[in-house]
Every structure is written in C-alpha cells, then in structure tokens.
Structure 1
Amino acid sequence: MSGEVVAPGNPETSMEEFPKELTRKKTLRRYDSLDLESSKVPGRHGHGSKAVGWSVILHLAFQSIGIVYGDIGTSPLYVYASTFTNGIKHNDDILGVLSLIFYTITLIPVVKYVFIVLQANDNGEGGTFALYSLICRYAKVGLIPSQQAEDQEVSNFRLDLPSGRQKIASRVKANLEGSHFAKFFLLFATMLGTAMVIGDGVLTPCISVLSAVGGIKEATSEMTEDMIVWISVAILIFLFMIQRFGTDKVGYSFAPIICIWFAFIGGIGLFNFIKFDPTVIKAINPYYIVQYFRRNKKEAWVSLGGAVLAITGTEALFADVGHFTVRSIQISMCSVTYPALILAYSGQAAFLRKHNDLVKNAFYKSIPDPLYWPMFVVAILASIVASQAMISGTFSIVQQSLSLGCFPRVKVVHTSAKYEGQVYIPEVNYILMLACVGVTLGFRSTEKIGHAYGIAVVFVMTLTSAFVVLIMLMIWKSHLLLILSYVVVIGSVELLYLSSVLYKFDQGGYLPLAFALVLMSIMYIWNDVYRRKYFYELEHKVSSQKFEEIVADAKFCRMPGLALFYSELVQGIPPIFKHYVANVPALHSVLVFVSIKSLPIGKVPIEERFLFRRVKPNDQNVFRCVVRYGYTDMRNEEESFEKMLVERLKEFIIDDFWFSQNASSNINAVENDGESELDGVLVEDGERENHEDTKHDEEERLQEEVEREIEGVENARRAGVVHLIGENEVVAGKGAGLAKRFLINYGYNFLKKNLRQTENVYDIPRKRMLKVGMTYEL
C-alpha cells in the first residue's frame, strides 16, 4: 500500500464525522477490498519486536525458571545411573563422562539453543511449528493453495530480511517451491517433530516421578519396587487430574520450587566437590573423553544414550519462548540453570570417585544425611513441575497442529485470561495419563524408560537443527562458513548421540517411535483428507456467473435475516451454497460467506482478523469474509464471534464507501488536471461553486445510501442470524485404490465420528445452526 488507511474506529460513529477522516486518506492503490482491511492498523511491529524494560525482563527470567527448566533441572536424578548401567570399571571413566556432560550441556542447551535457535523465533513464538511457519511465510511451501497477497499485510507476517548472499537464498527458495517432494518432506518432518515432543510429554512424567519417588528406598528397606511404582502411578494420576484447573493456578509456586531445587543441587554439588575430590575439575579437558572412548570403545558409545539425558527438556527452552522473551531465557539459563547443573554433576562425580559401587543411586547417596528428607520432598515437587512443563508444552503443540489442519478436532480450553498461551485439551490430557500409567507399570524402572526417553529427545533436537540450517540459508542468509561450522560441530554431536540411542531400540527405544508412528498416522490421515476436501471445494466452487443467476432468479424469495455460510475455501463461493439453494428456494436478506483460515504466524491482531469483499451484483447484500487466525490464537473469544463479525462488516461498508469516493475523486482530479493542461480552460468562480454544490449533494446521497445499507445489516441481525455449516460425508471416489479407500472410508471417518464437530470448535450456538448435508467423493 502506498498510503496508510485510518480505521473509522467505532462502527456506530455517525456518518457526519467521516468527511474529516476522508481528509487523511490520500492516494490509495487498491488491488482488492481485502487490502483496505489488512492495512488499517497503525504501528506495524510484531510480538517479538516489542521493547521490554529490564525490570520486566528480570521478572520474566525468574518466572521462566519454574516453567522452562523443570525437565533439564531434574536430570541429575538419573543421568549417572543411566550412563553407567554396568557399573564403573575405571575411576577415570567418571572424569570422561563428566567431561562429556559438561561439553554436551555447553554446546547444545547454551550455544545451540540459547544463542542460535532462540533467534529463529516466529514473532516471539517458538517450537517446531514456529520454524515451519517461518519457512512457509518466506517460501510458498504450503500444500494448500490458500495464500493471498493480503496475508503479507498482516503486522506479524512481515519478515525483516538482511541483504547480501541473495543468490544462494533465492536458489534454495526456488528449489523448495518447485519441488512437491520437498513440500511433503517439510510437513512430514514437522509432524515427526510434533509426535516426538508429544512422546516426550509421555515419558518425562514417568522418568521424573519414578526417579524422585525411588529415593525413599534409601530411607527404609521396607519399600519394595512394586510400592514405588504404585506411588508413582498415584502421583501421575493426581498430576493429570489437576490439569483442568490450568497452570496459572499453581504457576507462581513453580519458580520458587525450582529455584530451591537448583539451590539444593548446586549447594550439595559444591559441598561434595570440596569434600570428596576437587580434582574432578580436570574434566574440563576434553582429552578425558578421548581416553574414555579408548578404554571402553563400544560400551562408551552405547553409554552416550545415558549421557544425553543431561539435556532432556532443552527443546522447552525454544518451545516456551512465547511465554517470555529471548533475553529473559538467556539470563535465567546462564545465571541460574547452567551453573547449578554443572555444580550438581561435578559434585556427584567427586562423590563417585570415592564410592564407585554406589552409582545406581548416586543422587540420593551423595546427599548429606541432615538434608536427605528436605531434598526428597523438593525432588518430588520438582519432578511434578518438570512433568507439568512438558504436559503444557504438549497441549500447546497440539493446538498449533490443529490450526494447520494436521490434527483431528479436539476441544481447546484456555485456562487463563492473563496468559493466552496456557491451554488445556481434555482428550489429549486423558490419553497422556493412560499412556504414562501404562509406561510406568510396563517398564517399572528409570533405566528402561531412559532408553526410550533418549530417542525422543535427540530426534527433536536433530529436526530442529535441520530447520535452523534451512532458515540460516534462506532467511538469515548467513555466511556459508558459519552454517558449515554449525553443521560440523552441533550436527555431528547430535548425530553421534542419535546413533547411540537408536542402538537401544530393542531395550525400550522402540517406545517413542511407536508413539510417533501412531500419532503420525492419525495426523497424516487427517491432513491428507483435509487437503483433498479443500481441492474438491476449489474444483466445485460456484462461479460468479452462476451465482448472479441464482440471486437474480425470481423463484428465490428474500426473507429477513442474516445467513453465515461457513467453509475453509478462500477463493470463491463454496459448493455448499449451490446444494443449499437446490433444496431451499429462499435466501436471507444479507448473506456472508465466512472462510476460516489459519495463517503461518503465531497471532493475528483482532483488528486485522476480518477481511471482507463484496460479491457482485453489489445491490444484493452479499459479502465474502475471510477470518484469519494464527496458530496460537484463541478461537472462542470472550466477545461473541457473531457480534464481532457484524461490527466489522459495518466498518467495511463505511470504509468501502469512502474508499470508492476517494478513488473516484482522484480519477476526476487527474482528468480535470489533464483537461486544464491541454485546453488551458479557466474555471470561473460561479462554475466552481456549482461544481462544489453538486459534489456535496452527491456525497449526501451516497451517505444516505450507506446508512440504509448499514441499517439493513442491523435489521437483518435483529431478525435473526443463521449459521449454515456443511455436514460433509466424505467417501473415496469411484475407481479409488485400496489404500485410498481405507484411508478415507475407514481411517478419516472413524476419527471424525469420535472427535469434536465443527460447531463445538467454533462455539456456534446450536439453536441457530443449520447443517447442510453433502457428499464429497474424493
């Protein structure tokens, strides 16, 4: 847009006030009426660019300790036990493993995530879908052709791209856009990352709670393994039962608990470091890693699956950045989490140097006796917090999947009016609870769960690295040497760990892959049919000529009321309309075709959410409306969707009137200037006054016309609003293969029958809802 359009503000504003606004509307370039709506919000800056004061940053840094670091913070409970599964065979092996842990924590959570990956946030939002959305915005790699030029006018949609190295970036972009395989592969990788994070959400509560409760064995010999397992199951069930209250209700207790936890493990680690063996500081020399591998060869490589558990939950750093800021997470990680973890692992290593035989219970054995019970209580609380963080993360990532059509419809409950990102999904919560209880009862030990846990953790990290490399090449346009350094250093470390955890596939490592397979099957079936339905509607949409014939047909009577036809098609009139008029020979006085659309951004400001255009003929009161949401936006707002839509429609009618006036005035002015220059005609004062009077009369006539149109919309709303939804029966078309028939007729329809319907997702009132049945042969 070449000029800024000023929003009229309140739709109830009297028409007399708008000529003043008109003086601000200079020359406007208009491709479509959607442009008018999309450019009227002053102050174009995204969530990620907001200026935040240091007091707020420090406050967020404190809060992030409780939400982000619960998982990585409780890793000292089980890392050494999972690494030395066959006991310690050489005292210097402890130094080798400590050195391995030190450099792994430094390279992956700190260097990779805190200083590189966090910069790849999507207007402040993080996670696998944020990376995918960032790529989708820059390159047309989406599999549904619903992109519109107007989308790029949304405040948060724009990308500030650095100049230079355009050739490589353009080549990568062109290759992605031109390859159907690359588009599918990106979506597949995103689904895989999502499935692995959900798998992480199942395994984190199991291993954290089981490890913490296992500490009671050190206090009493009467506690059997069965009792520990059942106590853990009881805590897990309690944990999932309180999810419906929302993390906001207990959120303020999280940060103090984890702060106390970090103080305890850091303090005890420092105490053990000084008391038992300060020489473990030698582990800072990576040569001890080389010696460890020389001595143990294959066993050392296999033990990497245990060492990698020291960085579990690192993905939460990135996934939860939307709740905080990049700077606040950087501060909390570098000033609290990192030092506490290094001290904890160093202290345990110092203790093990003197007590090789106690490695199975190294964490609790290394606690001084007076601190045992306080530490036990804090460990239980910290493990619950760690579990809570991953469960909340699972809810968030399922919500993001929903918005991109990659997950079946489920109910999303926003549990906090203060924090938008806090959601609760009942169906997912109970599935996670059953999975957690099943894993705990089936595996019964942290060692076996650790084998499964490692695969989920490393898979997600590797996928994140692949996306980040793509962003470095295509969006950041980083120097090739920097990209190669990242791939060689970070990529090689992650691939080494991945090879190790995959080796334990048959010892429990199959579990997250089995979870991922089931979840990805569900996601693929839903997304595949979702795309097929979209292309079917696109192919069978009602043409402009056919629509004009329908509304002009004398047999159709117009009855008072407002009808909203829902679909996801953004390119025309959906086939549901043709099916409706074929059976009901009556149309409401005002028709709005509502398209629900998800954009590849976190949030769409409410002011920019509704885009309207008229449907010809203009005198029939027929409109198209595209309602745009980001992948973290709330669908069921406090304000009625119906009320918001009607108010935005009134605004559009007023805006459209002034836009047309301004455009025609500019054209007339250009024509008059041309005539004056060519003919040298001088306009007399009397003629000018007559022209002004005529113009004023014309403006008054048009104002009355607009007022009548707005009054017509209001009268239609009072007469009653009807929501028309397509109740689509989806079947495989004739001649479809066996796989396609199974996918559509059985897989998709099974999911559809057992999950939420459209009206539940969009909170449509049942009393004013009309379902129009259609069969789609895909």
Structure 2
Amino acid sequence: MPLKLNFQSMLDIKIIIKETWRRTILLTVQSIGVVYGRLSIAPLYVFGSMRPKDIDSDERLYELFSFIFWTLTIVPLLKYAVIVLRADDNGEGGTFSLYSLLCRHAKVGLLPSDESSDEIMHYETGSTSPGKKNSRARRAIKNNKISHYMMLLLALFGSCMMIGDGVLTPALSVLSASKGLQLSLAKILEKYVPVPTACFILVCLFSVQRYGTHKIGIIFAPVVIIWLFLISGVGLYNIVHWDHRILKAMSPTYMFKFMKHSTIKSWKLLGNLVLCIAGSEAMFTDLGHFSKKSIKIAFVCLVYPALVLSYAGQAAFISKHLIPHDDEVVCVTQNASSEYFHLRESVPNHTGSSEVVRHFFVVLSLFAAAVGSQATITATFSIINQCQALSCFPRVKVVHTSNKIHGQVYIPDVNWLLMILSIACTIGFHEILPLGNATGFAIISGMLVTSCLMSLVILLYWERSWLLAASFLIFFGFVEIMYLSSSLLNFYKGAWCLVILLVFCMTIMLSWHYGTRKKYEFDLENKVPVDWLTDLSPGLGVSRVPGIGFIYTEVVTGIPAFFSHFITNVPAYHQVLIFVSFKLLPVPHISPSRRYLIGRVGPKEYKIYRCIVRYGYCDQVRDTDDFEDHIILSIGEFISREEEDVEALTSPERRMVVIGNQLMDENTIVSVPRGSDSETLSPPVDPSGSSCVTPNQKKVRFMLPPKSPAMRVSVRRELQELVDARESGTAYFLGQSHLSVQKRASFMKKFLITTYVFLDKNCRQPPVALNIPRAALLEVGMLYTI
C-alpha cells in the first residue's frame, strides 16, 4: 500500500510538471507574438532610417554593426532578461511596479492611498515589509520629501514616454513596411502612396485589440516566428555570400574606434541605431501578461540569435551594394539610387522566382509590422491601468480579457485615442526618418528612467550596497545617455513631436494626481467624528427608513463631510448603513480571502457598518455586477464571527475583521438566485410577522438557513434584519465635488485644478465605474475650496 501511494504521488508530480511546462511553452509562443513583435521588426527601419551617403566606408559600417551587436547584448539581454526581470512586483512589471516597490519598502509614496490609516489598510496583506532593516539610505530618502516628489515625477515621466512610444511605434513600423510595398509595386503601378495603406493597416490593428492578448498572441505568434526564421535565413545567406568579414565587427574595438573618430554628423547616427532595441522595455512592462521564464526562453533561444544574424546580413549586403569601392566592381541593385535602404533589397535575387519571394517577403513584413506594434500597445494599456489605479490618470473603462492572467487588460478609450494619434503622426510626417528620431527619443528616455528606479530598488529593496547600485546606474546609464545625446541632436528632425505628447500626458497625469490629492486632504480635514452620528443625531430628529444605504467615501474613519451635510439638511437615513471605502495598496494583487475589512460604527443597535475594500493596482473590484452582494455576504459573515475572531484588528473606532471567502455554512446568510427552489428556505418577514413584498427585485436574494443550535439568537436576529433591509431596497450615496480655487492662488495651482475639473466632468463617472443604477443614486454636492 505505501508503494502504491508513493507511485501515485510521483505520478501526480509528473502531471504537475508536465502541465507547468505545457503552460510555459504556450506562454513562450504567445510572448513571441506580443512582447517580441516590436524587437523583431526593428530590422525594417534601423538601417532604413539612415541615408546611404552617411555610411561612407566599410569601417564605418563595421563600427555601426558593432554598436548594434553590443547594444542588443547589453540592454535587452543583460539589463532586462538577467537583472530587471528579477525586480517584478508579484509578477507585474513596468515603471510603476518599480515605483510601487519603492513606495512599499522605502516609504516614499505621495499617493492619497499611502497616507491615512496605514495600520487598517495594510492589516494582514503582506504589503509592508517589517523584516526590512531601517538602513541609513532608507532613512535619508524617507525623511527627504523632495526625493519623494522626484521619484513620482520620474515614474510619471517614464510612463509618458511609454505612452508616446505606443503612439509612434505603430506609425513607424507600419509605414516602414508600406515603403517596401511601394518598391514591390513600382513596376506595376506608376504611382503608389504608402501612407493610405499604412493608415488602413493601423485601423485594422487597433480594431482587433478588443479580443485580448491571449487570442491576439495565438494569432500573431506564427507570423513573428516565420518572420524571425526568414530574416535570420536571409541574414545568414548574405553573410556567407557577400561579406563574412562582418562577423569580426562583433569585437568592441570597433565601437571605440567610432567614438574616437566621431563627429557631430556621425554621432547623430546613434539616434537611428537605438531603434535596434525598440521593444526591450516591453519585456518588463508586459510581464503581467506572461511569465519571466517564458519571456527569457523566447528571447535567448530565438529572438536574440535571429536579430544578430539579420543585422549582420544587412551590414554584409550594404557593404557590397551601397558603399562605393575603388578596388572592386560594385554590384549595384536596381534601387541603389534610392534615398533609403530597405530590408527587401537584401533578399536573394538570383533565381527566376526571386520576385515572388520578394513579394512574399514584403507581404509578410506588413503583417509583422502590424504584429510588432502589439507590444507597445499592450504595454501602454498596462501602464495606464497602473496609473489609473494609483490615482495618476482619469477614470477610464478597463476590460480584463483573461480570467487566469490578471495583467491582460484592454482599455477601449485609450485604444481609439492611440489609433487617432498614430494616424495623425503617419499623415503628418509621412517619412521614416522623423518618426524614427521621435521613437528613438522615447525609447531611450524610458530606459533611462527604468535604470534610475532600478538602482534605487537595488539599494532600498534588495538592500545591496550603494556601490553595486551606483555601478548599475553608471554602466547602463552611460550607454543610455550616449544614445540620448544623439537623439537630442535630432530634436528638430521629428523628436519635437514626442515633447508635445509628453507635455500633453504629463499635464493630464499631474493635474489628476494633484486634484485627487487635494480633494482627499479636504475630506480628511472636514470629516466629523462617529459620535456626531450616533450621539447627536437623535437630538436632530433623525428618522430611520427601511432599506440599506451604501455611502461611498474615501476616508476610512469618521463620517464623510458630504453625508453629514446630507443628514443636516435631510434628517433621515436608512435602517442599515454601510460606509464603503476603496483603498489601493501598492501591490499588484490582494488575495480575495484578505480583501474586505468589516467593522461597526457605533453601538450594535444602530446597525451601521464600515467596509474597507482593499485592492492592488492590477485588481478588478469595481466593474462587477455582484459587488453589492459580496459586501452583504461579508457583513453577514462579520456578524457571525464578530465575537469569536480573536485576530480582529482594533481600529480607532471598533474591532474590524478580515473577510474574504464567504463561508456557506449554517452560521451565516446565504445567497440564492431568484426563482430557485432554495428560495423557500426562509422567506423574509417584517417585524409584524407578515411576508415582505420586494419593491425592487434583485438577481440574487439572501436567506437564513433553517434554525440551528449553532447560531445564537442575537446573531440570527441581526442577520434577519440585514436580509429584511436588503429586500426593502438599496440606495447609494456619493459625494459630488465642486472644486474652486482661491483668488490669491498661484497660476500653476489654478491651471492644475481647472484641468482636473475639466477631466473629472468628461471622464468616466463614478456611478458608471461602480455599476450604480441611476434610480437608486443620491449625489450630495459639496464645494471644495483649494
């Protein structure tokens, strides 16, 4: 018998390992189509964004290829795959995940959710790090408020660069592929304009985003895999056939030669070379869509070697076709007089079917270009989702496209805005060079932000020496500043477009963060103590009406100012009151079993409860139809467990209990769909003993199980009152803020508040985000003077 058990255990382990590897392989294939589509199409426009006259000798070409090889090795392979991917925030990546690590472990947060009632919000969530020793560096940064603002600005700047990249990359990649189609159709059509074709492809690309990363990854992955094998095969052919000496340019000595003899004109070429690592940031930003293992396997085993072969092959081809030589006959292609080089020209042209192969190559490049834009689009969705959760972006609808992988999101409003801006850039520039300059500026700026935040993570979170953190910043920062200086030299040749996008995005983010912060501070200063409601309300002649009242508020203690304003003018509130607060914690996810904190407000006979809903910046807790039912079930479980829970938190008001997975047993209420047979368990009755007639029917109703000795009489009575109140109806109270600025305020403050008011009126409204029916909504207006 023991042998059989051991054999079964080993069989179970093998099945688990098999399923794990099967999932890893699936994610690896999907990541090739989503994460690495951008890196894979870079060969379309790296050399294509340079003029042949700027590459005047084989030595200069070898030097440029040496830069490409070592940049691919240092940045995506060493920096991201080996180091930065280890700094994930519970499986999430990106600029804000690094910032959330610093907020949580170095106490540098400036966001509203980081400042009040920390003990309540972080209770038993694991979002704090009590085991971390308070080092000198952590103390210095924690006490320096300016450094807190600098870190927030740095995180917002990096996010804006990623959003700008999400606008420019689709335009650049699709337009580059359309230029190749122009060359293929030159003999068929006298005049072909690639811009309309690029715009049509962009519309199609953004239209399929609603299907989600999972489906898109399955569709796109074969295209990218075929593309990688094709360009690596073409590259290998060109190396062997044209110039195998290009491989010696892998030596770093060629880079030093370039820097030693460089001029301003040659230095500008680095701004084009930086496009070879376009998409590296997506390896970290899209981490929430996949896994670290799948991203590393895909890059090391396929993407990296294919890209090296492709760039080496292009360099070998260019050295024999586009560079004038004095000592040999030059085989000039039919398009050698073209202003720019295109990857299509390097496809072998020695057989009768060569034109067919080239046409296939061009068509595949169009598909690959569309796929390549996917990485930045999904990364932009992830960044904006994190910014919105951290109160740095206006309210927009976020659609979670996967139930298994929390980070896979789609944001419709942002998707269509990106499409409009990408088409505008395509039409406005209609050339590869300015788009390449702007994209390179965005890429290298975002990477530099990641290096700065990553060095702080090494110092404050990993608790390594300041020497190691400084070495990381100096080594990778030097490479990125070198490329940044080159991009700045091309500022007037397209990079200015990115600055406009940066100002636009930063204005939105800073205004929203500032307005949200000031509004929250006003709520804290003007809240009233609980005693006002429980002790003074009888003197005001307040009456109780049947039903449940949900009061949505940002404060987690006391009575919000808008509700006290309502009670003063309309002295009545519901039989059961529930104060609901959504509180973001600087972590990606909060386990459903630790999500709700339930407590009482005032004595038992008042039947007033407080519910604090804690969530991470990647959790979806508001856009659900059954959110109200979860709260009622949680309060029912709280009533059943209140006296026995020895691990309850003692808050400034009363004891609070962590509630998550509701226990469907005989000691609490249960939910059943209306019309089911189990509805007859315990029909609600009013205090007079007659059956209640439900005025507003819900999809789900609540019942008490049959009488059981395990349930105390007082608990059963309170649960029955909760069920009766739910059957009587539900009302929702929201504070409607009206912000105004004092006349003596500075221009900047007036500008930020005015922008916030405009965004607040035109973005997604709180009742929509909370799925509150208009018929049951009560909005209480409050004037906030800042």
- Alignment TM-score, normalising by the size of structure 1: 0.85
Is structure 2 residue 364 aligned with structure 1 residue 378?
yes
Is structure 2 residue 159 aligned with structure 1 residue 194?
yes
Counterpart position of 1:221: 186
Q: Secondary structure at the match of 1:572?
A: coil
Is structure 2 residue 104 aligned with structure 1 residue 173?
no
- Corresponding letter in the other structure for 1:366: S
CA–CA distance in 2 between the matches of 1:663 and 1:574? 22
Counterpart position of 1:53: 20
Is structure 2 residue 226 aligned with structure 1 residue 260?
yes
CA–CA distance in 2 between the matches of 1:154 and 1:65? 38
Aligned equivalent of 1:405, options 380, 383, 391? 391
Is structure 2 residue 761 aligned with structure 1 residue 750?
no
Counterpart position of 1:529: 515
**1:199-210 equivalent positions in 2, closer than 5 A:** 199-210=164-175
**1:448-597 equivalent positions in 2, closer than 5 A:** 448-553=434-539, 555-597=541-583
Is structure 2 residue 422 aligned with structure 1 residue 436?
yes
CA–CA distance in 2 between the matches of 1:224 and 1:534? 63
CA–CA distance in 1 between the matches of 2:50 and 2:193? 25
CA–CA distance in 1 between the matches of 2:258 and 2:743? 63
Q: CA deviation at 1:152?
A: 3.9
Is structure 2 residue 143 aligned with structure 1 residue 157?
no
CA–CA distance in 2 between the matches of 1:501 and 1:392? 25
User: In 2, are the aligned partners of 1:635 and 1:762 still within 8 Å (CA)?
Assistant: no
Q: Rate the CA distance shift 1:662–1:588 in 2: closer, same or farther, 3 A.
A: closer
- Corresponding letter in the other structure for 1:486: F
Counterpart position of 1:367: 347
User: In 1, are the aligned partners of 2:290 and 2:405 still within 8 Å (CA)?
Assistant: no
Q: Secondary structure at the match of 1:553?
A: helix
Q: CA deviation at 1:257?
A: 1.1
Q: Secondary structure at the match of 2:771?
A: coil
* Greater Cα shift, 448-457 or 751-760: 751-760
CA–CA distance in 1 between the matches of 2:546 and 2:160? 49
Counterpart position of 1:669: none
Counterpart position of 1:773: 781
Q: Secondary structure at the match of 1:593?
A: strand
Counterpart position of 2:733: 724
* Greater Cα shift, 558-567 or 245-254: 245-254
User: In 2, are the aligned partners of 1:154 and 1:604 still within 8 Å (CA)?
Assistant: no
Q: Rate the CA distance shift 1:738–1:283 in 2: closer, same or farther, 3 A.
A: closer
Q: Rate the CA distance shift 1:545–1:324 in 2: closer, same or farther, 3 A.
A: same
Aligned equivalent of 1:285, options 244, 247, 251? 251
Q: Rate the CA distance shift 1:113–1:587 in 2: closer, same or farther, 3 A.
A: same
Q: CA deviation at 1:209?
A: 0.2
Show CA shifts across 1:492-520 (max 9, x none): 11111111111111111111121011110
Q: Rate the CA distance shift 1:475–1:417 in 2: closer, same or farther, 3 A.
A: closer
CA–CA distance in 1 between the matches of 2:455 and 2:717? 57
Show CA shifts across 1:579-609 (max 9, x none): 1101221111111111111111111122222
Q: CA deviation at 1:391?
A: 1.5
Is structure 2 residue 333 aligned with structure 1 residue 339?
no
Is structure 2 residue 103 aligned with structure 1 residue 136?
yes
Is structure 2 residue 588 aligned with structure 1 residue 623?
no
CA–CA distance in 2 between the matches of 1:335 and 1:456? 28
User: In 1, are the aligned partners of 2:96 and 2:155 still within 8 Å (CA)?
Assistant: yes
Q: CA deviation at 1:158?
A: 5.2
Aligned equivalent of 1:324, options 276, 290, 293? 290
CA–CA distance in 2 between the matches of 1:171 and 1:425? 42
Q: Rate the CA distance shift 1:396–1:490 in 2: closer, same or farther, 3 A.
A: same
Q: Secondary structure at the match of 1:360?
A: coil
CA–CA distance in 2 between the matches of 1:129 and 1:471? 12
Q: Secondary structure at the match of 1:478?
A: coil
Q: CA deviation at 1:243?
A: 2.7
CA–CA distance in 2 between the matches of 1:663 and 1:569? 17
Q: Rate the CA distance shift 1:604–1:208 in 2: closer, same or farther, 3 A.
A: same
Q: Rate the CA distance shift 1:712–1:554 in 2: closer, same or farther, 3 A.
A: farther
Q: CA deviation at 1:488?
A: 2.8
User: In 1, are the aligned partners of 2:174 and 2:198 still within 8 Å (CA)?
Assistant: yes
Q: Secondary structure at the match of 1:756?
A: coil
Q: CA deviation at 1:717?
A: 1.0
Aligned equivalent of 1:352, options 318, 335, 347? 318
Unaligned runs of 5+ in 2: 1-16, 324-335, 651-707
Counterpart position of 1:427: 413
* Greater Cα shift, 539-548 or 629-638: 629-638
Counterpart position of 2:71: 104
Show CA shifts across 1:172-220 (max 9, x none): 2222221221111111111111111000000110010001111123223
Which structure is higher in RCO with an 8 Å CA cutoff and minimum separation 6?
Answer: 1
Unaligned runs of 5+ in 1: 1-49, 665-698
CA–CA distance in 2 between the matches of 1:712 and 1:581? 23
CA–CA distance in 1 between the matches of 2:709 and 2:649? 17
Q: Rate the CA distance shift 1:155–1:335 in 2: closer, same or farther, 3 A.
A: farther
Show CA shifts across 1:215-268 (max 9, x none): 123223266787101111111122223333434443311111111111111111
- Corresponding letter in the other structure for 1:332: A
Aligned equivalent of 2:116, options 136, 141, 146? 146
Show CA shifts across 1:119-151 (max 9, x none): 110000000110111111112222231352244
Q: CA deviation at 1:94?
A: 1.1
CA–CA distance in 2 between the matches of 1:735 and 1:560? 47
Q: Secondary structure at the match of 1:542?
A: coil
CA–CA distance in 2 between the matches of 1:109 and 1:201? 19
Q: Rate the CA distance shift 1:93–1:147 in 2: closer, same or farther, 3 A.
A: farther
* Greater Cα shift, 394-403 or 286-295: 286-295
Which has a greater percent of helix? 1
Show CA shifts across 1:610-659 (max 9, x none): 11121122321111111112111113455511001100111112221212
Counterpart position of 1:307: 273
CA–CA distance in 1 between the matches of 2:451 and 2:63? 26
Q: CA deviation at 1:700?
A: 7.7
Show CA shifts across 1:77-112 (max 9, x none): 011132456432111111101110000000000000
CA–CA distance in 1 between the matches of 2:278 and 2:117? 37
Q: CA deviation at 1:327?
A: 1.6
CA–CA distance in 2 between the matches of 1:264 and 1:662? 62
Q: Secondary structure at the match of 2:597?
A: strand
User: In 1, are the aligned partners of 2:34 and 2:213 still within 8 Å (CA)?
Assistant: no
Q: Rate the CA distance shift 1:661–1:409 in 2: closer, same or farther, 3 A.
A: closer
- Corresponding letter in the other structure for 2:140: N
**1:696-711 equivalent positions in 2, closer than 5 A:** 703-711=712-720
Counterpart position of 1:67: 34
Q: CA deviation at 1:543?
A: 1.2
Q: Rate the CA distance shift 1:645–1:272 in 2: closer, same or farther, 3 A.
A: same
Q: CA deviation at 1:160?
A: 9.6
Identity in percent: 39
Counterpart position of 1:390: 376
CA–CA distance in 2 between the matches of 1:493 and 1:625? 50
Is structure 2 residue 614 aligned with structure 1 residue 606?
no
Q: Secondary structure at the match of 2:73?
A: helix
Q: Secondary structure at the match of 2:279?
A: coil
Q: CA deviation at 1:712?
A: 1.2
User: In 2, are the aligned partners of 1:156 and 1:603 still within 8 Å (CA)?
Assistant: no
Question: What is the alpha-carbon root mean square deviation over aligned residues?
Answer: 2.4
CA–CA distance in 2 between the matches of 1:61 and 1:157? 30
Q: Secondary structure at the match of 2:712?
A: helix
Q: Secondary structure at the match of 1:477?
A: coil
Counterpart position of 1:739: 748
Q: CA deviation at 1:418?
A: 5.1
